[in-house]
Structure 1
Amino acid sequence: MKILVTGANGQLGSEIKGLAELYSNLEFVFAGRSELDICNKANVFEFVSKNQIDGIINCAAYTAVDKAETHYKAAELVNATAVGNLVSVAEEQNLKLIHISTDCVFDGNGHIPYVEDFEVSPIGVYGKTKRFGEEYVLNSESESIIIRTSWLYSIFGHNFMKTMLLLGNQRDEIGVVFDQVGTPTYARDLAQTCLGILSRKEKINGKGKLYHYSNEGAVSWYDFSKAIMEMGKVDCRVNPIETKDYPTLARRPAYSVMDKSKIKDDFGIEIPYWRDSLKECILRLKSKG
């Protein structure tokens, strides 16, 4: 089975690339923006046909949450229109599809973990355009699944964990919000889940199934930051602040913990605790200098 991985140079795509050799029953074609313009359907169709693709993991996304508020068209093009192109080609060529989405499709006003069929109500452009992308998949005839994830971090790319380590080594103290709660997700864990699902291709046998995936547990950004400094052995004081004290262009959900029961039950996977995965990631990062 030959798998096209879009967004190949991002956090998740890079982690999939690093794990690819462990899945001998899968063959991979990795494509970043320079190799494939997923916003152009003709390009997608030609690329998929030429490379004889059997399945797609769509890791590509416009993830600049604040910038999206003033660049709606750019966010919509990548998060929605491009997904529609991938879905259309998947339907025409009978491909399996895994599409990665976000907890930001919820408004964050809940107080219990979100399950897949809870009502969505995104509060920003990023979440709205990602929901539009979901709708393309949900309304398609392709054999496909959507995996919503949250607070993604990795040794690759730009992310909260690496930013905290950088700032912690530059400053004596920083302020981080404590009134936004969610769950960090180690991109390597999510990558293993995607590859595990595809290596048992009979598991993707429905149309537009929704799943949630993050690491186990729940934490505030403040507590996440404290753990990063502790495990990274960085001597920087982290002060708790409220969201109102750290204004951003885009509003963030106050509560975005997701229930993962469905993906665990359907695919028989065990999900690591967030602190265990964070420790592993920081050790990997240090080993790479």
Structure 2
Amino acid sequence: MIVFGKTGQVATELRKLLPTATFLGREQADLSDPAACYAVIMAAKPDAVINAAAYTAVDKAEEDTVLAALINGAAPGQMAKACAELGIPFVHISTDYVFDGQGDAPFKADHPTAPLGAYGRTKLQGEEGVRAEAGTHAILRTSWVFSAHGNNFVKTMLRLSETHDNLTVVADQTGGPTSARDIAKACVEISKQLKTDPTKSGTYHFSGYPNVNWADFARLIFVQAGKTVTVEGIPTSAYPTPATRPCNSRLDCSMTETIFGVARPEWKDALSACLSELETK
């Protein structure tokens, strides 16, 4: 198996699960060169491919649109093309940012897309490129990824807790925090099933349970970490950012469980495991 990504949150977890897989970092496969991604797959002829690499700097993507479009938009299509020609499964990780974030109902996989910014638009372009190749594939949309490595909300809150007794955190954005470890496990399971049943190809959702807003998520982080920090919930309008964040990041994950038997994971358990791992670092 080939995995695009080496040091990112999900790729790091996949390395633990797939010790014999080939992991391609930027030095082995530069996603800003989509043709090179196609070529490396065709040369290696693996039995499956997982794309765990992406341009994830949401705010920076508003200015760096060309590079984001190459990495998020064009490269996945070339990966999917190679996989289709070789007749192997391709699992591609996408995001809730392809939706407009309106309402309070969980988004189903077939809900109309309407990204709010450059990151979401380029990720949607990547999805469309994967589907266009019509090979065996699964596009797995997820949200609010956290782990003991890389940059994420959990680590940011813990860092801020070292110097702050009170924090203001957005309280009107709701979604499912998702452990990178759980995403990695889901990708491996889905890849295995696609090998034996290509008819399961399609677009799926996978996020942690239950849904929560950022402020309440922060409060639970501090409780589990034994930190005495007061969290004041604020509206999104009080914390402006270059890229607009979706207020509704809830994902309907029922089809992922129905088709693959992969249920929504309990993020509080995953958070506890994440905090324990951080303590050992």
Output the TM-score relative to the length of structure 2.
0.95
**How far does residue 15 in structure 1 lie from its aligned partner after superposition?**
0.6
Please tell me the residue identity of whatever aligns with 2:151.
H
Q: Counterparts in 2 of 1:197-276, with a 5 A limit?
A: 197-206=190-199, 209-276=202-269
1:5 to 3, 6, 14: 3
Q: Is the 8 A contact 1:140 1:208 kept in 2?
A: no
Distance 2:46 2:16 in 1: 20
CA RMSD of the aligned region, Å?
1.5
**How far does residue 203 in structure 1 lie from its aligned partner after superposition?**
5.0
Distance 1:44 1:151 in 2: 27
Pick which of 218-227 and 134-143 moved more. 134-143
Identity of aligned residues (%): 39
Please tell me the residue identity of whatever aligns with 1:165.
L
Pick which of 200-209 and 171-180 moved more. 200-209
2:105 to 106, 112, 123: 112
Output the TM-score relative to the length of structure 1.
0.93
Q: Is residue 2:86 matched to residue 1:93?
A: yes
**How far does residue 42 in structure 1 lie from its aligned partner after superposition?**
4.2
Distance 2:270 2:227 in 1: 18
Q: Is residue 2:193 matched to residue 1:193?
A: no
Gaps of 5+ in 1: 22-26
The count of corresponding residues between Structure 1 and Structure 2 is 281
Gaps of 5+ in 2: none
Q: Determine the structure 2 residue equivalent to 1:24.
A: none
Q: Determine the structure 1 residue equivalent to 2:16.
A: 18
1:54 to 32, 47, 60: 47
Please tell me the residue identity of whatever aligns with 2:275.
I
Q: Determine the structure 2 residue equivalent to 1:145.
A: 138
Q: Is the 8 A contact 2:193 2:260 kept in 1?
A: no
Q: Is residue 2:125 matched to residue 1:132?
A: yes
Please tell me the residue identity of whatever aligns with 1:11.
Q
Distance 1:86 1:280 in 2: 33
**How far does residue 53 in structure 1 lie from its aligned partner after superposition?**
1.3
Distance 1:137 1:207 in 2: 15
Q: Is the 8 A contact 2:97 2:115 kept in 1?
A: yes
